Structure 1
Amino acid sequence: MSMRKGICAWGGVRCPLALAVAFLLPVYATAQDAAKGVPTPAPSTYQINEYLVRGNTLLGAVDIEKTVEPFLGPGRSMTDVHAARDALQKLYQSAGYQSVVVEIPPQQVKGGVVLLKVSENEIGHVRVVGAKYHSPQAIRDAVPSLAEGTVPNFTNVQQQLTDLNRQPGRQVVPVLSPGSLPQTMDVTLKVDDSNPLHGSVEVDNDHSADTPDLRTIANIRYDNLWQLGHTISASYIVAPQDRSATEVYALSYLAPLSSDWSLLGSGYKSNSNANTLGGTTVLGKGEAFSLQATLQLSALGQYTQSVSFGVSRKHFDQNITLGGETEKAPLTYVPLTLAYTGQHVGEKSTTGFTLAGNFGLRGAGSENSAFDNQRFNARDNFAYLHADFNYSRLFTGDYSLVTRFSGQVADAPLVSSEQFAAGGETTVRGYLSAEETADTGGVGSIELRSPSINAWLGSFANDWRFHAFFDGAHLQLIDPLPGQRGRFTLLSTGVGTRFTVFHYLDGQVEYAYPLRNGVQTKAHDGQLLFSVKAGL
């Protein structure tokens, strides 16, 4: 086999195509040169009874026979022989073996038998370079289709590299070069990785009613525990002006079990003494623990998908104050969650959605009366459907449009911890966080973003854009009490800017203008929102 001198690198979805171009161009040149050495038989047509394929160890005999069968029979010529060779070459390519070469060696066609020679080019040496924080051996083992001495299946290689590059802070790109031995190629796995230890501190003014304005969120994360790609993360959320108003501890651990399965364990503990949920003051402390298994399903082109199964245990030591009277309402329950997530990434657009069913498990926690005590007609075997949708589109000139929608549909009244909330930075800007809550509802947003002006500002600015937005939500209670408001609508519009400077500092400033009255927020009372985050 002849091979062009030089190097071929590839990554992403174009891997097989780049390899095919790199190898098949010299392959076909070699095959054509070999074909020139085949004596022209006389007469110009003849009968072909059999194609004898030598050197194959990868494909089944039946598949090869079916591929060359259309080119058997009387009245054949070298055109048919070349067509049989090309068909067999395509069979190897479709099976993922782009490095395999099918040639027509010099020969005399006797007895109607034509010889086709298969050269199965193997991996020679494999090197891992550039890995600072990840084990080179672990990276090599994660791509078994590039093991030394094997014929690479590049379909499998592409999938294994995709799985390998899912881990944050690490990108692996293979580089191919001619091997030192005939019919071999050497592979260099170039690694670009960063320190797996990350930390951030954020300060913003996205707060709920009856609590101080400021929030501080601190997070620390390690992405490569045990050199197995496990991730552990801890967060601390506090109202710095009054810790007793809001204080939350959270911990999570993500363990990849295989290329398809992962397991996420998480929990939080809230030491808050006061939170207002939809006009009802909830006093007390609580915690929740959950375990979620996720299965990555087969990708469909640019569409990726997964399903997840989760179980949680939630406990709240609550006192409910309503109408000036306080009543203890401790609650423990075990909800189950089944979710499907899909995402399509196009050249100029990205679409994603999640559909999740949530179900209360009867008999695994508090009695049904405890649910009814906290919310009239609420029950322990609750069920509701939750959906999230997002879409972004990039336009000419680097303008972009971003939309999002979340919705929830319940079959009965829900306790406050399972209700759908609207208001705040992530839902309807200009209102307090979770200003309105209900059993069923939807919230949507549309945002137009400008091109980045960082080129005008200097090297300190990595990204700086402006945006305008319109947010809205509509919520509804199931079986509201007499005199209790059962429907809520929030609308707001505004403008803002987001920036990243000095690589590590992210910021956001927005002016949000409410268009409808909320429980706490008055219409036309504009709010200035900000967030500053420093991360390493």
Structure 2
Amino acid sequence: MPRQHFTSHMIPVLRRATFALLLVAYGSAAAQPAQDPTPSNETRFDVWEYRIEGNTLLSTIEIERAVYPFLGPGRTESDVNAAVGALDKAYQGRGYRNVVLGIPEQQVDTGIVRLSVTEGKIGRIRVTGARYFSQERILAEVPSLAPDKTPDFKQLQAEITAVNQQPDRRITPVLRAGQLPGTTDVDLTVDDRIPLHGALELNNRRSLNTTPLRLSGSLRYDNLFQREHSLGLQFQMTPQATDEVRVLSASYTIPLASWNLTGYAISSRSNIGTAIGGTTVIGDGTILGVRASRRLPSERASLSHTLTLGFDYKDFGENLLVNQQAGLQTPITYAPLSVSYNLFSEDKSGVTQASAGLILALRGIGDDQTAFDRRRFGANPNFIIVKSELQRVQNLPNGFALMGRLEVQAADQPVISNEQFFLGGLDSVRGYFEVESLGDYGGRTSLELRTPRITLLPKDFDMRAHGFFDAGAAGLHQALPGQLSPPSLASTGFGFRLRYAQLVSLNTDVAWPIRSTPNTSAWSPRVLFSASVQF
């Protein structure tokens, strides 16, 4: 075994077990003057060097820092045991929890104390219970567990946490004494389910001049080729008039070593015009994009945060009909870059979510200045948009909770409508049409008081009521003479949320707009609903 020497001019660190110091005291050590006994009558001896046998895991400097305080003249058995404890703590701090330290029987008259290290190894590794996920893939995702290797339990915990991010699979390591001395056998117990998911939703999130209902659906498989690749398909339509709105999208995600890479395509087709004053906008659009996201390290299991980089190619067609007469074609093509940061943190008193993002479009990628100016006066092909959001759900006494949310957008110049900040709708200011107000910059806020679970229904049903207040405002850069500012919106109301066994959900809100707009009268109630099934 490797042998390392640590003398009194060095500096030290290691992991803990319980050991006895077996000393055969040499005559000169036992013959110390009787007038200098220790309070416990322990034998004293000099320790000028700790000789470590069997270490391959800790660096020289780590071990030096551990044993240095216990070198010197007049040491006792307690000092040596303390050195063992310090070494044990150093191993444990590095994640090596199955290392055994020992003090061999020895003479200590030379000032040298030998300490032995037995580094426990992994013996047999088994994967049990896996039905839908490859055993080989699971083992590859936990490289800390390898035969004849001393496991780093800190790294192992991080790997298990990462592996269990897959929602359809839960892996639990079970350790037991190995068949061979000094080894540990490991069973990776897998609880998995088929990684196929789907959802169907019906709601009335209508925009102006469209039929009320929206039908959307999605289907996703998350373990293609047994490599955890994910393929997803989504659609949205107006079931009462199928030619009004049709949106199709597809996405494909590839997990890499540290990043998830996602490519997606969105196709939107609409024959419905949105009225803005005397102008009606009719538009189609195609978006091709890629996202690279990375889960950032965290010292707390209750905190997760991710960094996402993105690139989009956006091609929007749009016709402007002035007073219902054939008008101006205003298609636009551009390719913005994006970066965003997202955080989720849970504590005893509630949950915090936050995000911040930057959208950057560069001149020379896509259409020129003329196309942008035709789409929106003063808009440029190079622009910067900053977005941020903060939400907190605060637990209150007796099962109540208070949710607060704030969203803002800032832009350095006029931007085209596709990138503007919107107000109105179920996820914005309830009681108004979806996207009833648009601006280059703006903010919106929401406060919601939530009740405890209503116990009138069986335990598989989770029903809660809430009251809310929503508000938002937006503004324009370089507004044209006579152009009206985007209306500010505010509303209040109440609603219910019902969940059944993670399969069915029903959300209902009754909202009263507080401020009138050209399309919505104040205090005219609007009922919003969303019903969905998922598996």
Instruction: Give the TM-score normalised by structure 1.
Output: 0.90
What's the counterpart of residue 433 of structure 2? 432
Which amino acid is 2:457 matched to? L
What's the counterpart of residue 367 of structure 1? 368
Name the SS for the 1:520 alignment partner: coil
1:269 partnered with 2:270: no
Which amino acid is 1:362 matched to? R
1:240 partnered with 2:239: yes
Name the SS for the 2:271 alignment partner: coil
Give RMSD over aligned pairs: 1.9
Question: 1:533, 1:308 → 2: CA distance?
Answer: 29
Question: 2:193, 2:466 → 1: CA distance?
Answer: 31
Question: 2:501, 2:98 → 1: CA distance?
Answer: 45
8 Å CA contact 1:125, 1:179 repeated in 2 = yes
Question: 2:304, 2:391 → 1: CA distance?
Answer: 15
8 Å CA contact 1:170, 1:193 repeated in 2 = yes
Question: 2:122, 2:461 → 1: CA distance?
Answer: 41
What's the counterpart of residue 414 of structure 1? 415
What's the counterpart of residue 319 of structure 1? 319
Q: 1:374 to 1:158 in 2, by over 3 A?
A: same
Q: How does 1:218-297 map to 2 (within 5 A)?
A: 218-258=217-257, 260-276=258-274, 281-297=280-296
Question: 1:351, 1:501 → 2: CA distance?
Answer: 25
Q: CA deviation at 1:278?
A: 6.1
Which amino acid is 2:354 matched to? F
Q: Which is worse superposed, 207-216 or 356-365?
A: 356-365
Q: CA deviation at 1:275?
A: 4.8
Which amino acid is 1:263 matched to? L
Q: CA deviation at 1:296?
A: 2.9
Which amino acid is 2:458 matched to? G
Question: 1:166, 1:281 → 2: CA distance?
Answer: 46
Question: 2:295, 2:488 → 1: CA distance?
Answer: 37
Question: 2:241, 2:437 → 1: CA distance?
Answer: 23
Percent same amino acid at aligned positions?
38
8 Å CA contact 1:278, 1:435 repeated in 2 = no
What's the counterpart of residue 80 of structure 2? 81
Q: How does 1:471-486 map to 2 (within 5 A)?
A: 471-486=470-485
8 Å CA contact 1:273, 1:284 repeated in 2 = yes
Which amino acid is 1:435 matched to? E
Q: How does 1:355-504 map to 2 (within 5 A)?
A: 355-454=356-455, 456-459=456-459, 461-504=460-503
Name the SS for the 2:144 alignment partner: helix
Q: Which is worse superposed, 394-403 or 309-318?
A: 394-403
Q: 1:440 to 1:366 in 2, by over 3 A?
A: same
Pick the structure with more helix per residue.
Answer: 1
Q: Which is worse superposed, 317-326 or 397-406?
A: 317-326
Name the SS for the 1:271 alignment partner: strand
Which amino acid is 1:375 matched to? R
8 Å CA contact 1:320, 1:374 repeated in 2 = no
Q: CA deviation at 1:322?
A: 4.6
Which amino acid is 1:135 matched to? S
Deviation string 1:263-302 (CA, Å, 9 cap, x unpaired) is: 1111210111125376563202111111111233332435
Q: CA deviation at 1:306?
A: 2.8
8 Å CA contact 2:420, 2:439 repeated in 1 = yes
Which amino acid is 2:96 matched to? Y
Which amino acid is 1:265 matched to? G
Q: CA deviation at 1:61?
A: 2.4
8 Å CA contact 2:386, 2:409 repeated in 1 = yes
Which amino acid is 1:310 matched to? G
Q: 1:179 to 1:317 in 2, by over 3 A?
A: same
Which segments of 5 or more consecutive residues in structure 1 lack a partner in the other structure?
A: 1-23
8 Å CA contact 2:495, 2:509 repeated in 1 = yes
What's the counterpart of residue 62 of structure 2? 63
Q: 1:272 to 1:223 in 2, by over 3 A?
A: same
Name the SS for the 1:309 alignment partner: strand
What's the counterpart of residue 205 of structure 1? 204
Deviation string 1:345-381 (CA, Å, 9 cap, x unpaired) is: 3233222222111122212222211111111111111
8 Å CA contact 2:23, 2:108 repeated in 1 = no
Q: How does 1:146-185 map to 2 (within 5 A)?
A: 146-185=145-184
Deviation string 1:224-245 (CA, Å, 9 cap, x unpaired) is: 1121111111111001001121
Q: 1:522 to 1:39 in 2, by over 3 A?
A: farther
Name the SS for the 1:146 alignment partner: coil
Question: 2:287, 2:151 → 1: CA distance?
Answer: 47
Deviation string 1:452-483 (CA, Å, 9 cap, x unpaired) is: 235x4225x34221111111111111122222
Question: 1:277, 1:224 → 2: CA distance?
Answer: 45
Which amino acid is 2:180 matched to? L
8 Å CA contact 1:435, 1:519 repeated in 2 = no
8 Å CA contact 1:285, 1:318 repeated in 2 = yes
Which amino acid is 2:141 matched to? A
Q: 1:307 to 1:327 in 2, by over 3 A?
A: same
Q: 1:498 to 1:39 in 2, by over 3 A?
A: farther
Q: Which is worse superposed, 418-427 or 474-483?
A: 474-483
Q: CA deviation at 1:134?
A: 0.7
Question: 1:119, 1:383 → 2: CA distance?
Answer: 59
